[in-house]
Amino acid sequence: MRVAIIGYGNVGRAFARLLEQKRSAYPFRIVAVHTARHGSAYDLKGLPVEPAFGPAAPTVDEFLANARAEIALELTPLNPESGEPAITHIRTALQRGMHVITANKGPVAFASAALHEEARRAGLEFRYEATTMDGTPVYNLVRNNLPGVKIEGFAGVFNSTTKVILAAMSRGLTLDEGIAEARTLGIAEADPVFDIDGWDSACKAAALANVIMDARVTPQQVDRRGIGKLTPEKLAEIQATGKTVALVARAKRAAGAVKLRVRAEVLDKDDILASMRGTSNLLVLETDLMGKLGVFTLKPGLDQTAYGLFSDLVDIARSL
Ligand SMILES: NC(=O)c1ccc[n+]([C@@H]2O[C@H](COP(=O)([O-])OP(=O)(O)OC[C@H]3O[C@@H](n4cnc5c(N)ncnc54)[C@H](OP(=O)(O)O)[C@@H]3O)[C@@H](O)[C@H]2O)c1
């Protein structure tokens, strides 16, 4: 199958490397890539991981028209305020008859119901396994392995940067020193406020709730408080009581709606939500038929995000 990629940065290149590695068993080809500043590249025979870029296509629509691909990957940066321009990129690809896979949580957090409906009407697939837990099956778990199960709620620890910052502050370092540590690890968002104020967790919670609970919310509707008010002294006090703190995202059905909340929660040290360190993340689902069940990933990185895209690609290819 022929793949076109809109946004070719860290995730796009990790995905291209994964395809090279699996080429003999999975004959997918990247035939076109498009970036904001580096230009566009096309080759129907398949592009190398580091393609020679020509001038950028003037619009994403023109890029996709030239790409002659069956599947589009949307891998541009997150816009936490509106999900754009990624939502428009996805609509454009669907209108051109392409299945769409994204690692960008914006479109799922802001427009998943509408995009699903547009894809369904066109007989196409819209997938996003890489958006929330770096490729760990969450959406595909619910879709493929939990038929008939109603998701009543969830609790998740999704944000790596705040885990690194809280761990640093528990060792007596300041918030800024914690941010510097997260930057050294290469995990902080360009603007760390996005992590610290809980926006990243709110976007992931909204994306998840929209898909697995049909919540129809945006990240702005998440009752959100971050870790900005915590100090090393406050953390030391909490630790002295045998407890710890983590930024937890929760969803719950209440009075016909889905309520979402992101908070720095004080947890028992043996609470499963307190067990994740660094980039590791965890999700516990509350269900009607399967009780509570969960997934976690230990120290995921770009290769796991790339795998999330790959798993969607294989799933779509098998369904055709
Ligand atoms: N990195 C991770 O570990 C991770 C994990 C899960 C999900 N994600 C999500 O995956 C997406 C990609 O992340 P990344 O780390 O690969 O980002 P990145 O390295 O910053 O790359 C972004 C790419 O998008 C291009 N781009 C930006 N605006 C564009 C526009 N309007 N039209 C076309 N191309 C545009 C950039 O072009 P230039 O190259 O010309 O600047 C660049 O090629 C993000 O939504 C991110 O939240 C990332």
Domain residue ranges in the chain: 2-135+302-319, 151-297
Q: What is the DSSP string of 142-163?
A: HHHH-TTPPEEEEEEE--HHHH
Cα–Cα distance list, 93 to 70, 89, 108, 270, 310 (Å): 9, 6, 15, 46, 18
Q: 306 CB under 6 A from ligand 1?
A: no
Q: 56 CB under 6 A from ligand 1?
A: no
What does the pLDDT read at residue 191?
A: 82
If phi > 0 it is left, if psi is from -120 to 50 it is alpha, else beta; for residue 72 that is beta
**DSSP H or E run through 66:** helix 60-67
Query: Contact at 8 Å (CB) between 305 and 312?
Result: no
Query: Contact at 8 Å (CB) between 70 and 99?
Result: yes
- The Cα–Cα gap between 208 and 252 comes to 12
Phi (first) and psi of residue 74, to 5 degrees:
-100, 110
Residue nearest atom 2 in ligand 1 by C-alpha distance: 302
Q: What is the DSSP string of 13-54?
A: HHHHHHHHHTTTTS--EEEEEE-SSS-EEE-TT---SS---B
Ligand 1 mean position to 120 CA, how many Å? 26
Mutate to test the pocket of ligand 1, among 35, 60, 280 (most ligand atoms within 8 A of CB): 35
Residue nearest atom 15 in ligand 1 by C-alpha distance: 10
Residue nearest atom 8 in ligand 1 by C-alpha distance: 103
2-135+302-319 against 151-297: fold identical: no
- Of the CATH numbers 3.40.50.720, 2.30.42.10, 3.20.20.70, 3.30.70.270, which one belongs to the domain with range 2-135+302-319? 3.40.50.720
Q: 75 CB under 6 A from ligand 1?
A: yes
Name which residue leads in pLDDT, 190 or 265: 265
The reply to whether 79 sits in an annotated binding site is no
Ligand 1 mean position to 209 CA, how many Å? 23
Atom of ligand 1 minimally distant from the CA of 301: 3
- The Cα–Cα gap between 200 and 206 comes to 10
Catalytic residue chosen out of the listed positions 150, 204, 234, 252: 204
Residue type for position 110: F
Q: Residue 190 — very low, low, confident or very high, per pLDDT cuts 50/70/90?
A: confident
Condensed to tens digits (0 to 9), the pLDDT of residues 53-78 reads: 999 999 999 999 999 999 999 999 99
The owner of tokens 């691909």 is 69
299 is an active site residue: no
pLDDT at 188 over 80: no
Q: 204 CB under 6 A from ligand 1?
A: no
The reply to whether 8 sits in an annotated binding site is yes
Ligand 1 mean position to 8 CA, how many Å? 6
What does the pLDDT read at residue 278?
A: 87
How many of the other CB atoms lie within 10 Å of CB of 225? 13
- Of the CATH numbers 1.10.287.610, 3.40.190.10, 3.40.50.12780, 3.30.360.10, which one belongs to the domain with range 151-297? 3.30.360.10
Q: What is the DSSP letter of 172?
A: T
Cα–Cα distance list, 252 to 103, 268, 274, 287 (Å): 25, 21, 20, 11
Residue nearest atom 31 in ligand 1 by C-alpha distance: 36
- Give the mean model confidence (pLDDT) for residues 11-25: 97
Condensed to tens digits (0 to 9), the pLDDT of residues 143-181 reads: 999 999 999 999 999 999 999 999 999 999 999 999 999
Cα–Cα distance list, 195 to 204, 214, 290 (Å): 11, 25, 32
What does the pLDDT read at residue 320?
A: 86
